[in-house]
Amino acid sequence: MRIIGVTAWQVDLPLHEGSYKWSGGKSVAVFDSTVVRVTTDTGIEGFGEVCPLGPAYLPAYANGVRAGLKELAPKLLGEDPTQLLKLNHIMDAALKGHPYVKSAIDMACWDILGKVSGLPVCVLLGGRYANDVVLYRAISQIDPDAMAANVAGYRAEGYRKFQLKVGGDPDTDIARIQAVSGVLQPGDRLVADANTGWLQHEAMRVVRGVRDVDVYIEQPCLTYAECLAVRRNTTHPFVLDENIDDLGVLVKGHADGAMDVVNLKISKLGGLTKTKQARDLCVSLGIAMTLEDSWGGDIVTAAIAHLAASTPPSFQFSSTDFNSYGPRVIADGAPKRVNGRMSASTAPGLGVSPRLGEFGKPAVEVG
């Protein structure tokens, strides 16, 4: 089987809440996503998607996805999409870095492998452990009482895990964590995600200010060294996200005792193949995970569902259903949340059918 073409479309993903805000005043009103189709000489085609969280979150941006695909895709023509480790090796040899550019191609090739073998991607990623997986809800950064009201509202929709966007003024963030804590029930889980937004002295004040609250602290500062210093001065369960971008830092973090949970984002690591490697290592090392991506629509959500479904449930801290944050449907067959959980499709591949007719002219056409 050979790749004969790569096509990409730009798609806008608006939000029910109007915007999504996190640390340092960063926000996005309409997410700029890219849907990728890989076509083969057999007629089988696969789909992937990548959606950076705006241009200022990770070293990734939406136009960079399309520019990178124009550079990379011609070098993949003629290659076998079902030999995924080999394909990743070829991508890394052809384009240094830029994992987010490679993510949607890798995702589409897993979709192809599923369709060729007649198996859902979760089975190919290791096996389906459960019928559904647990989700968290990200709570956009606004005033403390309004965040508490949003948590209560999403709790009523079935969520039991909440990721507060903090990383702003430390005193306001302490108030945010305390206000939200007040509306939670036994068994709920609260994560305060600063998204690198605090300097070390600010993070130290926050963890002391909420020391009696049952809350996880996620990625308080920009660097690994700063986060490790905060970690060593708090008893809160600790999550690393932005710093965990390859296997080397995962091994170092484990050796240093730097975290209890890591967030594995598919495009941050470069696709399902590399996220599977990190996921499997975490299971071997005893590290729980949130399995997700930077953002996305129906196709990313489907990929997350397959990744999470193939992870032992005791290691799956949470995942998220990005396709519920906005009104636009870009693919049929994607998971839909039920009581704060979602299920991976039982169809071959990712189980999604993108609405290509609604996307307009392709942004990238190779082959």
Task: State the residues that interact with Mg ion by CB under 5 A.
Answer: 193, 241
Choose among 318, 324, 268: nearest CA to 293. Answer: 268
The residue annotated as part of the active site, out of 115, 265, 268, 276, is 265
Tell me, rounded to whole angstroms, the distance of Cα 256 from its chain centroid. Answer: 24
Catalytic residue status for 268: no
Residue indicated by tokens 């993070």 = 203
Task: Considering the complex, state which of residue 115 and residue 268 has its C-beta at the smaller distance from Mg ion.
Answer: 268
Beta pairing class for 288-292 and 30-40: unpaired
Task: Considering the complex, state which of residue 45 and residue 193 has its C-beta at the smaller distance from Mg ion.
Answer: 193
Report how far residue 365's alpha carbon sits from residue 53's, in angstroms, rounded to the nearest whole number: 24
Evaluate the CA torsion angle 301, 74, 362, 11 in order and state its sign: positive
Task: Considering the complex, state which of residue 106 and residue 193 has its C-beta at the smaller distance from Mg ion.
Answer: 193
Minimal distance, residue 319 CB to Mg ion, in Å: 13
Minimal distance, residue 259 CB to Mg ion, in Å: 12
Minimal distance, residue 292 CB to Mg ion, in Å: 8
Token pair for residue 54? Answer: 């705006």
The residue annotated as part of the active site, out of 102, 161, 165, 276, is 165
Tell me, rounded to whole angstroms, the distance of Cα 263 from its chain centroid. Answer: 8
Instruction: Yes or no: say if 19 and 72 are a contact pair by the CB < 8 Å rule.
Output: no
CB-side neighbour CA atoms (13 Å) of 126: 18
Report how far residue 315's alpha carbon sits from residue 138's, in angstroms, rounded to the nearest whole number: 20
Choose among 355, 349, 353, 352: nearest CA to 111. Answer: 349
Report how far residue 297's alpha carbon sits from residue 295's, in angstroms, rounded to the nearest whole number: 7
Minimal distance, residue 325 CB to Mg ion, in Å: 15
Q: Which runs of consecutive H residues, i.e. helices, occur in 52-190?
A: 62-72, 84-94, 99-117, 121-124, 144-156, 170-181
Task: Considering the complex, state which of residue 111 and residue 193 has its C-beta at the smaller distance from Mg ion.
Answer: 193
Task: Considering the complex, state which of residue 40 and residue 196 has its C-beta at the smaller distance from Mg ion.
Answer: 196
Catalytic residue status for 276: no
Task: Considering the complex, state which of residue 44 and residue 239 has its C-beta at the smaller distance from Mg ion.
Answer: 239
Minimal distance, residue 150 CB to Mg ion, in Å: 17
Minimal distance, residue 195 CB to Mg ion, in Å: 6
Helix and strand element counts for the chain (H, E): 12, 18
Task: Considering the complex, state which of residue 24 and residue 126 has its C-beta at the smaller distance from Mg ion.
Answer: 24
Choose among 245, 198, 244: nearest CA to 222. Answer: 198
Token pair for residue 116? Answer: 């060729």
Report how far residue 320's alpha carbon sits from residue 311's, in angstroms, rounded to the nearest whole number: 14
Minimal distance, residue 110 CB to Mg ion, in Å: 24
- Measured from each CB, the residue nearest to Mg ion is 241
The values of phi and psi at residue 303, to 5°, are -65, -40
Q: Which residues form the catalytic set?
A: 165, 265
